[in-house]
Chain A
Amino acid sequence: MSTSSEVNLKQTLRKIEYPLCAKEALNKVVELVCSRITSIKHMDLALDLMSEFIFYEVDRRGNKRSQGLTPLLELQLIEILFEYFNSIPNESIRNTVFLSLFSGTTAAMRLGILSKLVSVGMGIPSQTILMMASVWMQQLGSFSQNSCKLAESLVQDYFYFSPESTERLKSLPSMCPQFTANFMTAISENYFSMSRREVSCPPKNLLEILKYWISNNYSLCIAAQQRPAVLPPGAIAMEPTTPIAGLLKWCILAPIYKQDINLYSELHLALLNSILEIPRTNPPKAIYAQHLAHSINPILAYVNDLKNKQELKLDKILNEDALQLSLDRYAQAVQVAHSVNAIYGHVDDLFNQLKQLPFNKLLSIVISTYNRNKVIVL
C-alpha cells in the first residue's frame, strides 16, 4: 500500500461519522494485521486506524483528543466490537485482531473498553468474546497487571454492583472453561496479596461461586492448559498459569486473616481434589514452586507481628489454632501437589523455605517424607 493510498483510505474513513467509521476501520485493520506479508508500515497504519477511527483517541493530525468518548459513544463502540467479533468465523483471525486492539503500549489505555466488552461477553454470554479474552489473558500473563485489572473490573461488575447475578455465572465454566480458569488465576492475585498496600479478602459470593465451580469440575483449574490458544502461525503461545497456587494461598492465609473457616475449607478440599485429577506431564506444569511459596512470608510476618505486640508468650503464638490450621492446610497442599508430581520449578527450594515456618507436625512429616523419598530416588 502506497503512502497516497493510505491517505486516501484515511480521507475516506474521515467522511464517515464516528462510530460508524469504526466498523469500516475494523475491516481494514483485519486486512492489515492478518495479511500474509506484514510490514512495519502496515502495522503502523493499523495502529493509526485503531487510535483514530476505532478508539477515538487522536484527531486527524495525530494529536491526543482532549476529551475521550462519551458514555453513549463508548456503548455504541462496544456494540460494534461485539457484533464484529461475533461475525468473524475464524478463531485465529479473531484472536489476532483482538490482541492487536488490546495489547502493546495502548493496553492499559483501552482496558476500560476491554473490561466492558468482556463484561458484556460474560453477561450475554458469548463464548467468542470469552475465548478471546482468555487467550488475551494468557498471552499477557494471567498474573499481569492488565489481567488482574480486567479481573477486578469483572468482579466489580458481577460481585459488587450486581451481587444477585452470580447465580447466572454458575454455568460460566461450561460456556468457556479456559476463560474461567484464567479468570480465576487473575482473581487469585487480587486478594490476600502482600504486594498491595492493604491485604483484602474476596467477597463471600465470589468465594462461593469459585468453590461451586471447582468442586463441580475438578479439571476446571487446568482447563486453559488443556487447550492451546489458537494464534496466527509464528506467534508464540504462552503457557497459562493455573489458579491452583493462587487459590491455595487464600485457603492457607484465610485462618490468620480470620476469614470464614468453612467456605475456605470447602474450597481447599475442592482444590486438593483438583490436584489429584491433574494428569501427569513431564515436566510438570500445573503448579509453580515459587507461587506455592508465596504464603510463607505472610505467615512469618503474622508471627512476627504477634511477637512484636508482646501480648502472648511465644509458645502460645506458635500453637495458636489459626496459625496451626494455616500450616496444616499448607502442608496438605504441598504434600498432595507433590504426590502427583504437579509442582514445577525449584521444588527443593520450596521445601527448604518451608522449614522457616513455625513448627507444625504435619508439615514436618511432609518435609521429612519429601527428604526421605528424595534420598531413595538418588
Chain B
Amino acid sequence: MEIDLEISDEDYVVESAKNTLKVNPISAKAWMITARTLYPNNFGVQFEAYSIEKEAGHVKEAAKYFSDLIGKFQQQAELWKEIEKITVALRAETDTTDSEKHFLCEMFKHISSDVQHKLLLFTADHCEDTMEHCRLLLLLLQRFPTAISSYGPRLVDTLISAEKHSVDGHYPVNSYRKLLVCDLLPLLASEKVKIDLSSKLLYKLLHKSIEFYLCYLGLSTMNVQEMEPKVEDPWTRLFGIIEFIGKQLNWEPYLTNFTTNWSKESYWQNIISFCQSKSKNNTLEDKQLLFCLAIFFLYCLYEYNASLTPESSPGQICISYLLVEAFTDPSLPNPVTEPKSKKRKSDGDIVHNTVPYITVEKPDLKYIHSNFLVCVNCWDLLNSSENIQREFIKMNTHLKLDPWLSGFVIDYALFKGLYDEALMFLQKISDPSLLLYRHLRIASILYMKKNYSSCLEPILLALPLLPTNNVGSLSNNLIVGGTQKHLHYLPLTRLAILQYLVKILIRCIKDNIIKHGYNELSIGHIFTLVQLDWPQEEDFIPPLLEQIQQHRSFQYHNFQSYIINVDILEEITYLWTSQGGQIHLDILPHLGQRRIGTRGSDKGIKEEIKQAIRRQIMRSNEKLDELLINFIQNERTHILQCLV
C-alpha cells in the first residue's frame, strides 16, 4: 500500500474509506466508523461519513449520521444545503421518480421524531423568505399534529399579514391565500381539539376562503392568476372550511354538515327547519343562515349553470340550453304536470296557473329543471328578509358575482313573469358571447308582452349569430297543451333557435290577423313560415285557406321565392281549381297586368301558373333553414307591415 505522506490524517482516513468503498463496502463502513470516532468534531469527516452512507443508499445509517450532524454542526453551510434538500423532498413526497428525494424522505422517517421536529422548526426559523418559512411551518404541522395547537394560530397570522404585504396580495387567488385556505385550514380542521382563534378572525378566514374558492372557480369578475397545481374539488373543500369554522363558531351542526348523507334536498330541508326554529333578529343565527344559505345557493347555481351545458358524448358538439318562453295550444290535452302542481290544483286554479310548466328537450335533461327549482327556492329565501337580503347584497358587492348571477336572475324573472325586470337585465348585457342569448330572450319577452312590432328587430339581430357548426334538429317540445305559462330549455342549435324565432313570428303575425282582419300578405308569410317545421303547425293553415276562399282571390308575390312545401302548394293549387272555388291567384308578379284578358290569354296564364307550381314542387328539397333566414332578412319590411 502506498502511503502519501503529504495528506493529513483526517484525509487519509476518509480517503481510505472512499477507496475501500469501491472494492468492499463492508470494510468501507468499518473505516467510516473509525473515522467518525477519531474525529467526532470534524464536520468534514462527519459529513463525508453521512454522504458515503447516503450514496450507498443506507437509510438507517444515513439517518443516524444526519441526526448527529444536526445536533453538532448547525453552523455549517453545507449542512443547511442538505437540510434544504430534505425539506424540498418532503414537500414533493409523492414524486417517486427522483431517487435522491425518495431516499431523503425515507431517511427522514428514520430520524427520531424529536430531531424531525427540531429540523423543521430550525429550518423555518432559519429561512429568510416568508413563503418558504410558511411552507416549512406547514410541513412541520403536517408532520407533527401535536404542534398544531401551538403553531397553527401563529401561522394563520403570519399568512394573513404576508398576503397583505405581498405583491399579488390584492388578488384573492394568491400563493399565500392558497396555503392558508387549501392547506392550513383543512389541517386545523383535522385536529380534534378546539383551536384558539377569535370569532372575528374566524369570520375573516371564512370570507377569505369563500373569496378564494369562488374566484378560483371563475365566478367572480375579479382578476384571477393562474394557480399551479390545480385545486381539486373546490366545493368540497369550501364546504369543509364552513364545517370547520361553523364548528368553531358553535353553529348548528346540521347546517355545517356537508359530508354524511348529504343531498341538496335534505340540506334544503335543514335550512327550512333552521328558519322555522330561529328567533327573529338574532345576529348570530342570521349570520349562520346567511353564510350557509348563500354558499348553498351559489353551489346549486354552479351546478345549475353547469347543467345548462351538459357534457357531450365524445366526438359530439356540446349543446347549451337556454330558458325561454315557449308556447301553448289550448286545443291540445294538458300535459300531466308534476304531482305537486296536481295536488295544488285542489287548492284552486290560481295557484296552478302561477306555477309555469317547464319542459326540457329529452327526459334525461330533467335535472336542469330540478336544479333550477332549488336555486329559485334559495333565491326566494335570500330575498325573504330585509336583513339577509342586505347582507347578501353586501357579500355580492364584495365578491363581484353579478355577471355570473345574471343568467339565473333573468331565468328567475322569466319564471316569475317579471318581464320588465328581465328586459332591464337583458339590456345591460354587452358581452359579445352573450348577445345571441340576449336577442333571443328579448324577442321572447316582447312577444309575451304582445309588443309584436318590436319583436322583429331582436330576431333580425339574432339571425347572423346563429351557430353554424351546430346544426342540431327541430324541437318537438316548444308547444304544450293547455293555457298555463310554458317555459322551455331551448337547445342552442341552429335549427332549434331558428324554429323558435319562426314560431314567435308566426304567432305575432297570426295575432295581428285576428286583430286587424284579412291580410293576404300576412297569410302568405304564415304559409312561408310554417314550412320550417311542417307539419307541426299545419292546424294554422285551414282557417287561412277558408279566409282566402271567402275573399275569392289571393295575392302573394313572394310565392315563387319562398313557398316550396308540397302540401301547402297542393292546398293553394286546389283553391285554384273549380272544386276549390277557382280562386284567383296573383302569385306571379309579372302576370299582374294581364289579370283580366281574353280566354286565350287566360289559358296561357293558367299554364304559367301550373308551370310555376311545378317549379316550386321541384324545389321542395331545398334547405329550409337557409330559405327562411333569407326570407326574414330580405323581406323584413314586408314582415314588419304585418306586425304593426
* Interfacial residues, chain A to chain B (CB-CB below 8 A): 261-262, 265-266, 268-269, 272-273, 276, 319, 321, 324, 328-329, 331-332, 335-336, 338-340, 361-362, 365-366, 369
Contacts and interface: CB of A to CB of B under 8 A. Distances in A.
Interface in B1-51: 1, 3, 9, 12-13, 16, 24, 26-27, 29-31, 33-34, 37-38, 40
A280 to B, nearest CB: 14
Contacts of B1: 319, 321, 324
B34 A336 contact: yes
B27 A265 contact: yes
Contacts of B38: 335, 339, 365-366, 369
A332 B26 contact: no
A332 B33 contact: yes
Given A262-B26, A266-B26, A366-B38, A273 B16 contact: no
Nearest to B3: A361
B183 to A, nearest CB: 41
A102 to B, nearest CB: 40
A273 B24 CA distance: 17
A329 B30 contact: yes
Contacts of A362: 12-13, 16, 34
A365 B11 CA distance: 12
Contact of A269 (B9, B12, B13, B30): B30
B34 A335 contact: yes
Nearest to A266: B26
A362 B33 CA distance: 13
Given A269-B30, A319-B1, A362-B13, A336 B24 contact: no
A174 B583 CA distance: 118
Contacts of A339: 37-38, 40
Contacts of A324: 1
Interface of B: 1, 3, 9, 12-13, 16, 24, 26-27, 29-31, 33-34, 37-38, 40
5 A-B pairs closest in CB distance: A339-B37, A332-B34, A265-B26, A365-B9, A265-B27
Contact of A365 (B12, B27, B29, B40): B12
A273 B32 CA distance: 11
B62 to A, nearest CB: 15
Nearest to B5: A361
Contacts of A265: 24, 26-27, 30
B16 A336 contact: no
A331 B26 contact: no
A338 B33 CA distance: 13
Contacts of A319: 1
B12 A361 contact: yes
A321 B1 CA distance: 7
Contacts of B24: 261-262, 265
B563 to A, nearest CB: 100
B93 to A, nearest CB: 30
A265 B20 CA distance: 12
A331 B34 contact: yes
A272 B24 CA distance: 16
A199 B31 CA distance: 28
Contacts of A321: 1
Nearest to B2: A319
Contacts of B29: 269
Q: Which has the most chain B C-beta neighbours within 10 Å: A273, A276, A319, A332?
A: A332
A273 B273 CA distance: 70
Contact of A272 (B9, B12, B13, B30): B30
Contacts of A261: 24
Q: Which has the most chain A C-beta neighbours within 10 Å: B24, B29, B30, B31?
A: B30
Contacts of A276: 33, 37
Contact of B37 (A262, A266, A269, A340): A340
A265 B40 CA distance: 23
Contacts of A329: 30
A332 B3 contact: no
Contacts of B16: 362
B36 to A, nearest CB: 8
22 contacts: A261-B24, A265-B27, A265-B30, A266-B26, A268-B30, A269-B30, A269-B33, A276-B33, A319-B1, A321-B1, A324-B1, A332-B30, A332-B34, A335-B37, A336-B33, A336-B34, A340-B37, A361-B3, A361-B12, A362-B12, A362-B13, A365-B9
B26 A269 contact: yes
A266 B3 CA distance: 26
Given A262-B24, A273-B33, A338-B37, 6 more contacts: A261-B24, A269-B27, A272-B30, A272-B33, A329-B30, A332-B30
A276 B555 CA distance: 115
A268 B30 CA distance: 8
B71 to A, nearest CB: 16
Contacts of B27: 265, 268-269
A179 B12 CA distance: 41
Contacts of B40: 339
Contacts of A361: 3, 12
A332 B31 contact: yes
A273 B40 CA distance: 16
A361 B3 CA distance: 8
A228 B5 CA distance: 50
A60 to B, nearest CB: 63
Contacts of A262: 24, 26
Contacts of A268: 27, 30
Nearest to A368: B9
Contacts of B37: 276, 335-336, 338-340
Nearest to B40: A339
Contacts of A365: 9, 12-13, 38
A331 B40 CA distance: 17
B65 to A, nearest CB: 12
Nearest to A329: B30
A276 B26 CA distance: 16
A122 to B, nearest CB: 29
B11 to A, nearest CB: 11
A109 to B, nearest CB: 44
A339 B40 CA distance: 9
Contacts of B34: 272, 331-332, 335-336, 362, 366
Contacts of B13: 362, 365
Contacts of A369: 38
A364 to B, nearest CB: 9
A122 B24 CA distance: 35
Contacts of B9: 365
Q: Which has the most chain A C-beta neighbours within 10 Å: B27, B29, B31?
A: B27
Nearest to A276: B33
Contacts of B26: 262, 265-266, 269
B22 to A, nearest CB: 14
Nearest to A267: B26
B45 to A, nearest CB: 12
A340 B40 CA distance: 11
A319 B34 CA distance: 21
Nearest to B10: A365
Nearest to A319: B1
A340 B33 CA distance: 12
A268 B31 CA distance: 11
A271 to B, nearest CB: 9
A366 B34 CA distance: 9
B64 to A, nearest CB: 10
A175 to B, nearest CB: 26
Contacts of A335: 34, 37-38
Contacts of A336: 33-34, 37
A321 B30 CA distance: 17
Q: Which has the most chain A C-beta neighbours within 10 Å: B16, B29, B34?
A: B34
Contacts of A269: 26-27, 29-30, 33
A317 to B, nearest CB: 13
A261 B24 CA distance: 10
A339 B33 CA distance: 10
Contacts of A328: 31
Q: Which has the most chain B C-beta neighbours within 10 Å: A262, A273, A361, A369?
A: A361
